[in-house]
Structure 1
């Protein structure tokens, strides 16, 4: 009880001291035993089923993280491959010597290499028959039938006698055949040499005759036997190195070399020692450099009495002599009731791996598990899951063997990364050129991934994959989708010497910062040469230095550009791994040349009073280097009327497609005329009335006036009078006005000539009512006698005499300043209090004045003669309320004797009669 407690405490203390290292290089091996179909194949299956079963095994090992497989190809002098030396193994078909119809070794080699795993041909050099009772079933060409004299017999075991030189030759022939014909990565022997000590009741093997025939000076039979094995081991080493210097050679002896309390001799154990029992001097093999590694089968639990894993494993670390030690682990014992409770501990294998990885044991380069069936079993306490999910979760390189080759291959190049639609990253690279030397050529590649360009290649912390043999691509599934990761690749030769790394890459190409939109000035031919814009771009990459990034421009510098359409210029930046980024910007060709404007002069005749022209009428072939925008041609002015008769300057404005504007002037001569209208008044009755020509006195003299209009510029004009009331024919040139009521009548005539132009003239007719008497059959006359004036109603016959004596038909006024001139019409006023004149009558000058109580926006003050014609305009404009406006008029401006001052406002017309005297 106390001893068990001590062992448990020792184990805990031991592993507390083992700081596990996560190695960059480690052998992670597994044995596939074919003898008696322990792991594979099933001899009852078809070849197709056997191949499928092997693929399942290989996939399982790959998923676990295994990188080396020791596949048994010769278990008892038979062959898992076609051989001219030995018969086909019965493990394939159930019958020794029967051809299975396929080559399992070649198939296994190919499939291992596809998975990035090494194939080591596992051979038992001496075992001839594991069970002699089966000898009758052996093939006739089996060595036990052909050379029974070569056999050592012990119980049912038959082995080839290592002391017979012909046996060594025979075994070497088999080895040379396999090494020469197959692309092996390694040759591997297990622990079968001389038979172990014979059990009680079993006759030990007898090699007296062999010893007697060739003692070679040895007096100790044990030393002689060990030398027999040494001769074969040394010869295998030399032969393999000569045939294929890249094929590794190693042996997996039993776990105990020798039992001894002296570590210089062996281990403090009490188990089978292969030095004395099997006559296998493994320490000499590794001391002499005849093997590249030893893989001792340390198939015991930690703390096991007599054979403690915790004692044996450290001892082997000290026996490396510059070579590799791999520890064989007993996976087959885990959770086997026959092995005891310590193998029921799920931490047993993990703890053994931790010890191998301990920094205290730098010569232990990995471990291998026996056997495959235990790794695939579901009853082994999940130790395979511990390997897969913990110890082997990260890939590793195989340990290098510098004593065989220490020259690394050249580095791969042109590593590129591409992000796939499913979120994975596709990597591709260019392998180094072949050298012709298999030792130096790249065989596999190591892929590294990191979150920054600072990738840890030396330490291996960023190693994510070791490729299959010959592969130059890899699809990575990043741990965090969407994150950016950086990659490097190294080349590995057959001994996993690692090259310098490739370029660093990620899936993203260089970053291109584009210049802003550029302008390019076009020449007179609307063309230009595209400049080299690359210096305007800023290009960077997170893995390539700026000098390693090339930038190409498309269209290339110097390309011809024609026209004003935008040009898309693309930059393609390529980093040193070949990744590219293409980005585009716009170049805008700029036309700065204005159009050339050509014009022509025009003559156009007025029609209907107007004439219109277009830009096309004026354009005389204007042009532009890059083309005109014809829709924008404009001419101003484009329309003319009667006021524009004669030459008129017009401007033709032309805009090109780039907005450049130019103008030129042309002359448009408008032909036609504006009517010059005159109105003449006539009387059909010549009776003297003493009244102006535009005045009629109702009741005496002419009772109608003839109004005649003429156009001084055209004889083809038409006329229209307004207002038409009282006129005989308002649309004729001559019309008659026959009034029926007194008042002021203003008529306007409009003349329209053949060009459609119009002109107007106005005349005012004054109608007095001189009728009086009960029947209005008499005439009212202002009779004058000296300074007196008397208003009298007389017969018509008496009127001429009164008129000859300065009488007048328009009645008498109390004073000249206040008298109204006859009867006024509606809306008219005598002007009293508003409109005045002084002196009146006047001789040399009269001053006309007015004052309105209400402001006016516009008013007009004119003087009319006795014929109703305006002879002077005194004022036209706005009027301020209460302000007196005065206007002096010289007499010589007023031809005639009688006048009327007329003030027209917005709501009323005022009159004031003026009289000029000599």
Structure 2
């Protein structure tokens, strides 16, 4: 089997924060879109958790495999449900729903398993934290002498038996500390807030608490309550930015922001009912995305489409909007494809579904009229206020053409001194008769074969697709989902038992990049095993570098040229292989 080494795989900067389907059309899936699902673990494990059969790791794999097949690219996993943890914590007791016993160590680290398995699939893992709803109010709230539950250790912070009072600075600091521990110890992609609010109407003790804890002399009980929540969002942002500035923070607020956003329908309002000013958090840059819980249908009050438009039109600081929908409702589930269309045409950057069990049983939940809304892969939109540097290219790309398949392998890019580097990869495939520019090919999400966290991929072909000649591209994605430029290879996949063909003729390609400083890559193809000589000359015909002078196998070869010790100017490179000779020019600009 022929192996085709390729080194030419990187550097196209895609800076779009997410294609808007208002431009792409209601049904056309954009290349950049957030597609997430909430995975609930509270009680006995609504979506995941608990003992039983199959084992929890196998159930985790089943959820991730299903989410991957549905076309999702993010898991929002509940890791702090009721003041307890689905991970090893020095501050919080183990969640009872892992073993059935409050505070009992399950003997493994569930969160780390989820992170590793999600990242391997190219998915983001957002850590879902219930902020101020911190207890069940019963024996499931663990009380251990060495690590008591907050409901027992600090009852003076607790209101209505289950709510942490945001008006008490020490209570806020305790929850900030929980998030700091989580961020320090786990390679999650985001912190995701739920219940970042008061219980409806606040608490009867608030007037007394306000008189004791109001250093800014805020006027009005409602304003003071909102200030307390705002302070929490600021404190977490400041700490997370200090520890891991690349990490994202998101929130899932009440679907109705306030009066006027409810289309005339009386409802729970985030701003005035539970003192949740999520737009302020976005405006101040304390969160990166909002996932409002818009759990209603289209057309009937409160109208889903009206509320989506209200959030889009009143977005602050260009923060992303991932619209939360509720397919747990049968009425919503029947129209979920229309709700996806609505979020796209209104200009949101993605969707989030409550919750996994509500989408897991229906294989066609996103399909209507023969069109699958998630029928093509999508990359999570980059956030322009985070690091927008494109990663370096992946290295040592190798293609093994096979029988009804192509096996691709590569090495991760040089992290270029970034201590936070972690990469995903997008693999594209198109036929060699596709005459579009590389930029246009990469803009077409239908050509993405996979987004993966692995450094290998086997492209399985049908009998109909086998035997065609393809070009493959691999790009690296940064933590912020900024994409590198591609390298390419073309390859014949044959359905016969004969050795696959990899090239029909010699070809010397234009170097890339060109102009360059100080390095560039020269690529050439050979249809047969022969001696090759690749030489660089200046304009006076003087030999300045011999890049190749050896016998090479058939296939594609890529060679890097470093002109750092040469003067700026035009240079000539010439390939001689057997009776084949070709010459091209390149420009070196210091």
- 2:67 maps to what in 1? 61
**1:427 offset after TM fit, Å?**
1.6
Alignment of 1:474-489 (within 5 A): 474-478=457-461, 480-489=465-474
Distance 1:191 1:318, change over 3 A: farther
Q: Which residue, 361, 369, 375 being the options, matches 1:377?
A: 361
Alignment of 1:191-590 (within 5 A): 191-197=195-201, 205-215=204-214, 216-260=216-260, 268-305=264-301, 307-320=302-315, 321-334=317-330, 342-343=331-332, 346=334, 348-358=335-345, 361-362=346-347, 364-378=348-362, 382-384=364-366, 390-421=372-403, 423-439=404-420, 441=421, 443-452=423-432, 454=436, 455=438, 456-469=440-453, 471-478=454-461, 480-507=465-492, 508-512=501-505, 539-540=506-507, 548-549=523-524, 572-577=553-558
- 2:517 maps to what in 1? none
Distance 1:213 1:500, change over 3 A: same
TM-score by length of 2: 0.78
CA contact (8 A) 2:509 2:522 kept: no
CA contact (8 A) 1:487 1:504 kept: yes
CA contact (8 A) 1:505 1:577 kept: no
Alignment of 1:599-748 (within 5 A): none
CA contact (8 A) 2:377 2:445 kept: no
Q: Which has the higher strand share?
A: 1
Deviations 1:151-206 (A, max 9, x none): 111xxx511110111011111111111100001111101134200248xxxxx543
CA contact (8 A) 1:491 1:499 kept: yes
- 2:567 maps to what in 1? none
Moved over 6 A (4+): 541-547, 550-553
RCO comparison, higher one (Cα < 8 Å, 6+): 2
**1:402 offset after TM fit, Å?**
1.3
Gaps of 5+ in 2: 1-21, 493-500, 513-520, 534-549, 560-576, 580-590
Deviations 1:453-502 (A, max 9, x none): 64434423344234432x22211124512111111111100110111222
- 1:20 maps to what in 2? 27
Gaps of 5+ in 1: 1-14, 199-203, 335-341, 513-538, 558-568, 586-918
- 2:574 maps to what in 1? none
CA distance in 2, matches of 1:123, 1:442: 24
**Length, aligned pairs only:** 497
2:124 matches 1:118: yes
Q: CA RMSD for the aligned pairs?
A: 3.1
**1:542 offset after TM fit, Å?**
9.1
CA distance in 2, matches of 1:21, 1:384: 13
Deviations 1:364-395 (A, max 9, x none): 100011000111135xx942556997111111
CA contact (8 A) 1:127 1:158 kept: yes
Equivalent position SS for 1:66: coil
CA distance in 2, matches of 1:185, 1:235: 19
TM-score by length of 1: 0.51
**1:41 offset after TM fit, Å?**
3.3
- 1:171 maps to what in 2? 175
CA contact (8 A) 2:41 2:81 kept: yes
Q: Which residue, 93, 102, 106 being the options, matches 1:96?
A: 102
**1:555 offset after TM fit, Å?**
7.6
Distance 1:549 1:37, change over 3 A: same
CA distance in 2, matches of 1:434, 1:136: 44
CA contact (8 A) 2:246 2:386 kept: yes
CA distance in 2, matches of 1:137, 1:169: 21
CA contact (8 A) 1:414 1:502 kept: no
Equivalent position SS for 1:128: coil
Distance 1:217 1:446, change over 3 A: same
**1:425 offset after TM fit, Å?**
1.1
CA contact (8 A) 2:103 2:142 kept: no
In our comparison, the structure showing a higher alpha carbon Rg is 1
Distance 1:314 1:438, change over 3 A: farther
Distance 1:150 1:511, change over 3 A: same
Deviations 1:102-137 (A, max 9, x none): 11111111111121111111001111223x244776
**1:49 offset after TM fit, Å?**
0.8
Deviations 1:812-852 (A, max 9, x none): xxxxxxxxxxxxxxxxxxxxxxxxxxxxxxxxxxxxxxxxx
CA distance in 1, matches of 2:490, 2:244: 36
- 2:93 maps to what in 1? 87
CA contact (8 A) 2:132 2:195 kept: no
CA contact (8 A) 2:41 2:79 kept: yes
CA distance in 1, matches of 2:156, 2:408: 60
Deviations 1:11-39 (A, max 9, x none): xxxx9x96333201000000000011343
CA distance in 2, matches of 1:218, 1:555: 81
**1:218 offset after TM fit, Å?**
1.4
CA distance in 1, matches of 2:552, 2:130: 65
CA contact (8 A) 1:449 1:485 kept: yes
CA contact (8 A) 1:43 1:94 kept: yes
**1:577 offset after TM fit, Å?**
4.9
CA contact (8 A) 2:196 2:276 kept: no
